Amino acid sequence: MKKSFLLILLFSCCYVGSLFAQATSDTQPLYYIVERNAAMHAEPDGSSEKVGNFSFREPVYLVKRVGLWSQVRTKDGQEGFVRNSTISNVWIRVSKSTQTIYVYEGTKLLKEIPADLGYNSFADKERRGSLRDRDHWRTPEGTFFVTKKNDRSQYYKAFVLNYPSREDAERGLKQGLITREEYHAIARAEAMFETPPMNTALGGMIEIHGKGTGARNNWTQGCVAIPNEEMDDLWNLVKVGTPVLITQ
């Protein structure tokens, strides 16, 4: 796939549908908000008048940098300033076929990292796996985001993903794997950009974590494992809310 196509696909999946056309035609780079309750100021100064508030992961256009601040424009055309740390355009694509993580800033490819995947890397995840059913220790496919960063993981460090997503829950409900109450709990978590229930029949605790071999092996229970030194490189770059696209 071409990088431009992947970026468009990511934006159309992760952000509001109406943003799709804007993202492909606007010359200003697209970012997203990575702080909850973030405010926009009239000037590049935290003490200046607040002219607006952002939703977590709301898309914005970067107009220019002013020292430690960024001038941004919302999809409604309002402009103001936020601290540089408030916005990000980093996103991750995991290719199961090549067992590689691709890390991007916008359309710029920053890193390619060899990745270990689940036991059955050729199929999408459908339900929880077990020692008796390792076939379902699969790495899920779809559009996700980072809900937590765990620096005390048993696998060195980890980015927790929002699997199962609402799309997974819809499938699980139709297949009779989860209850309607479980479906609504997963859907609510996604709407709030929070960690979904991990104890349903769909499985959970899918992460990008350390202790990877660097040899593209298949041994995880559905997670994506990369070498510890690569996790260290990504740790400050990846934020809670960072989009993660996992494809076959």
Mean pLDDT across the chain:
91
Place of tokens 């990088």: 3
Decide if pLDDT at 1 tops 90.
no
**pLDDT at residue number 18:** 37
User: Tell me, what's the pLDDT at 28?
Assistant: 87
Structural domains of the chain, with CATH: 3-88 (2.30.30.40), 90-247 (2.40.440.10)
Phi then psi dihedrals of residue 34, to 5 deg: -120, 15
Q: Is the pLDDT of residue 24 over 50?
A: no
pLDDT value, residue 11: 47
For 203-219, what is the mean pLDDT? 98
pLDDT digits (tens, 9 = 90+) for 124-171: 999 999 999 999 999 999 999 999 999 999 999 999 999 999 999 999
Q: Which residues contact 18 (CB under 8 A, 6 or more apart)?
A: 75
Q: Residue 100 pLDDT > 70, yes or no?
A: yes
Cβ-based burial of 208 (10 A; exposed 0-12, middle 13-18, buried ≥19): buried
What residues are paired with 56 via a beta bridge? none
Mean pLDDT of 55-80: 96
194 vs 13, which has greater pLDDT?
194
Cα 183 to Cα 23: distance, rounded to the nearest angstrom:
31
Taking a C-beta distance cutoff of 8 angstroms, is the pair 90, 238 a contact? yes
Q: How confident is the model at residue 26 (pLDDT cuts 50, 70, 90)?
A: low
User: Span 94-118, mean pLDDT?
Assistant: 97
> Peptide bond preceding 164: is omega within 30 degrees of 0, i.e. cis?
yes
Residue 122 has pLDDT above 50, yes or no: yes
pLDDT at position 3 is 44
pTM for this one? 0.89
3-class secondary-structure state, position 12: helix
